[in-house]
Amino acid sequence: MEQRNTKPIRCIVKLGGAAITCKNELETIDEENLMTVSSQLRQSLMFGSASQKVSGMDWSKRLGFSEPPTVDSDFSDQPVVGSKSFVVVHGAGSFGHFQASKSGVHKGGLSQPLVKAGFVATRISVTSLNLEIVRALAREGIPSIGMSPFSCGWSTCKRNMDAADVSMVVNAIDAGFIPVLHGDAVLDSSQECTILSGDVIISHLAAKLKPEYVVFLTDVYGVYDRPPTEPDAVLLQEIAVREDGSWSVVKPTLQGTGKPEFTVASHDTTGGMVTKISEAAMIARLGIDVYIVKVGTEHSLRALDGSLRGEIPNDWRGTALRLVR
């Protein structure tokens, strides 16, 4: 390949499975959320996107029509991706989970016919979701390119990322594309196969590509101190992460004392919420801001477009994790 200057990465975005699919309806996309995500990504990514003109990049025929959409060959007013790029990674939601859990792909054992069949079925399901997400972004004029971890040759060892050359992702970014990756069924050297989750991919890409910030789009406002369904659940707005990966809540402060509500060492994983924070903290300790925020809200737009890079405004709802030195 010709030598290119490697383009800096502004943001890695995780589209959570629960945020873009209907959790309880098999293989059903939450079209409204996906459209909003695509539009917010366009606004965040592109210069000149205040222009009303969107020249879509999905030129496939539409359901019920035998002809492709009219292609505007004048792309000259088209807003362009800024000098710093984005990478999109999505989860599976109601795609893939049924197939994976029915066959136990995550547990390995590819020599068993059911596991092998489930591996094939899982990949069909998650790649079909990937295609629909790439289409949705392309319709918004985002030059999105689907890239499957399995096809990239990525594999795991004991379910941890093992071989994962990111050069094909870097080349796609340098050529001006927005790579769209996804949680996938992959080969595993210790147990033959497993599921490589979108979150593990994000951690790996964050370490390799060093984006300025990472945004997790979810179906809740952020991380709470207890299940968000409980009436007294408090949204943790700002978490300070130290270089050793330990972290403490900065906002909200424990009423009256001005002290953080609690502090947990990074290895003290006592529950789902703590696990979630610890994983995000592993990214934040690299000096990369992490925002966990509800999809399709003004808060997600502010996270995506980089508005939170300075002070976190008091009216922003979400969870931000940042390195303190």
Burial class from Cβ neighbours inside 10 Å (0-12, 13-18, 19+) for residue 112 reads middle
- Our finding on whether 165 is near a copy of itself (CB under 8 A) is yes
Among 86, 119, 221, 316, binds a copy of itself (CB under 8 A): 119
Residue closer to a copy of itself, measured from CB, 48 or 287: 48
DSSP three-state, residue 55: coil
| Separation between Cα atoms, residue 147 and residue 207, nearest integer Å | 19
- Our finding on whether 32 is near a copy of itself (CB under 8 A) is no
Site map 213..242 versus a copy of itself, x via CB under 8 A: ------------------------------
Name the E strands within the chain: 9-15, 46-47, 80-81, 85-90, 144-146, 156-157, 160-161, 178-182, 184-188, 192-196, 213-218, 238-241, 247-251, 263-264, 289-294, 319-323
- Residues in contact with a copy of itself, total (CB under 8 A)? 70
| Separation between Cα atoms, residue 70 and residue 247, nearest integer Å | 53
Residue closer to a copy of itself, measured from CB, 160 or 189: 189
| Separation between Cα atoms, residue 32 and residue 51, nearest integer Å | 22
Supply the minimum distance, in Å, between the C-beta of residue 25 and a copy of itself: 7
Give kind and range of the element (H or E) at residue 204: helix 198-209
| Separation between Cα atoms, residue 315 and residue 179, nearest integer Å | 32
Closest listed residue to residue 81, CA positions, set 33, 48, 129 = 48
DSSP assignment of 172-194: HHHTT-EEEEE-EEEEETTTEEE
Site map 38..77 versus a copy of itself, x via CB under 8 A: -----------------x-xxxxx----xxx--x-x-xx-
Q: Which stretch binds a copy of itself (CB under 8 A): 85-93, 116-124, 215-223, 240-248?
A: 116-124
| Separation between Cα atoms, residue 57 and residue 271, nearest integer Å | 43
Among 51, 101, 160, 189, binds a copy of itself (CB under 8 A): 189
- Our finding on whether 131 is near a copy of itself (CB under 8 A) is yes
Residue closer to a copy of itself, measured from CB, 8 or 153: 153
Q: Which stretch binds a copy of itself (CB under 8 A): 8-16, 158-166, 250-258, 289-297?
A: 158-166
The residues that touch a copy of itself, with contacts defined as CB under 8 A, are: 1-2, 25-27, 55, 57-61, 66-68, 71, 73, 75-76, 78, 80, 98-99, 102, 110-114, 116-121, 123-125, 127-128, 131, 134-135, 138, 141, 143-148, 150-153, 155, 162-163, 165, 167-168, 171-172, 175-177, 187, 189-190, 192-193
